[in-house]
């Protein structure tokens, strides 16, 4: 009889331990789900940020390889932004690319010689470099010598999280910039 009582007692204890484990799992499950979804959104943000970097550097690199550039060339080049951003959508107002040519005259401040905006020259973002014909605000640490020219690409991407719908994360704008010196010609003539 004593053995039987021990078996029943152990069985009851094991059931109690299993019940506590199930209760602990049920109580911590929302935390684990939030952690999983937050990690997914964090990875999605890092992917979007890295792709914006790639867009900025790729577009600037391609533009600087032209001897003369046309609006048709720029339209084709900036279409690549949507392809580079895949599988994330860069259209529908989420992404904007601004390509600028900045020239440093022998005297005075640098000037924005021309700009091209994607999509369709109707950007929802404004260039931090300046506007065509105006004084250029160069990125930190960048100085140009007299009669020098650079091509600057700015990429704006409005990030919206996949899962976490907190106001702190909604409509976060990722901004990336790339600066290259033209290789074959100064590219100061506005594209036609």
- pLDDT tens, residue by residue, 39-74: 888 888 899 899 999 999 999 999 999 888 888 898
**Two tokens, residue 151:** 């091509």
The pLDDT of residue 157 is above 60: yes
Residue 192 lies in a domain: no
87: confidence class by pLDDT, cuts 50, 70, 90? confident
Residue 191 lies in a domain: no
Q: What pairing do the DSSP bridges indicate for beta strands 148-159 and 172-180?
A: antiparallel
172: confidence class by pLDDT, cuts 50, 70, 90? confident
- The C-alpha atoms of residue 148 and residue 132 are separated, in whole angstroms, by 17
Helices (H) and strands (E) in the chain, counts: 2, 4
Residue 121 lies in a domain: yes
The whole-number average pLDDT for the span 101-122 is 86
Give the residue numbers spanning the domain of 44: 2-180
Residue 189 lies in a domain: no
Percentage of the chain with pLDDT > 70?
Answer: 85
Q: What is the pTM of this model?
A: 0.79
As a 3-state breakdown, the chain gives helix, strand, coil percent values, each rounded to 5, of 40, 20, 40
Name the least confident of 21-30, 72-81, 114-123.
Answer: 114-123
The pLDDT of residue 11:
66
Residue 85 lies in a domain: yes
Residue 186 lies in a domain: no
Residue 139 gets which letter from DSSP? P
Q: Into how many domains does the chain fold?
A: 1
Residue 25 lies in a domain: yes
In 3D, which of 133, 123, 125 has the Cα closest to residue 190? 133
Residue 111 lies in a domain: yes
The pLDDT of residue 7:
55
23: confidence class by pLDDT, cuts 50, 70, 90? confident
């Amino acid at each position: 009889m004593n053995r039987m009582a021990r078996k029943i007692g152990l069985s009851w204890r094991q059931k109690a331990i299993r019940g506590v484990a199930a209760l602990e799992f049920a109580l911590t499950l929302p935390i684990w789900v939030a952690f999983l979804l937050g990690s997914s959104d964090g990875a999605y943000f890092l992917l979007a940020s890295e792709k914006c970097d790639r867009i900025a550097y790729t577009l600037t690199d391609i533009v600087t390889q032209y001897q003369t550039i046309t609006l048709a060339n720029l339209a084709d080049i900036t279409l690549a932004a949507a392809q580079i951003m895949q599988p994330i959508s860069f259209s529908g107002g989420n992404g904007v690319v601004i390509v600028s040519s900045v020239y440093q005259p022998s005297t005075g401040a640098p000037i924005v010689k021309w700009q091209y905006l994607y999509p369709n020259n109707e950007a929802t973002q404004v260039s931090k470099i300046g506007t065509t014909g105006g004084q250029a605000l160069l990125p930190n640490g960048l100085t140009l010598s007299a009669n020098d020219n650079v091509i600057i690409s700015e990429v704006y991407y409005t990030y919206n999280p996949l899962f976490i719908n907190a106001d702190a994360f909604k409509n976060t704008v990722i901004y990336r910039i790339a600066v290259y010196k033209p290789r074959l010609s100064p590219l100061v003539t506005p594209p036609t």
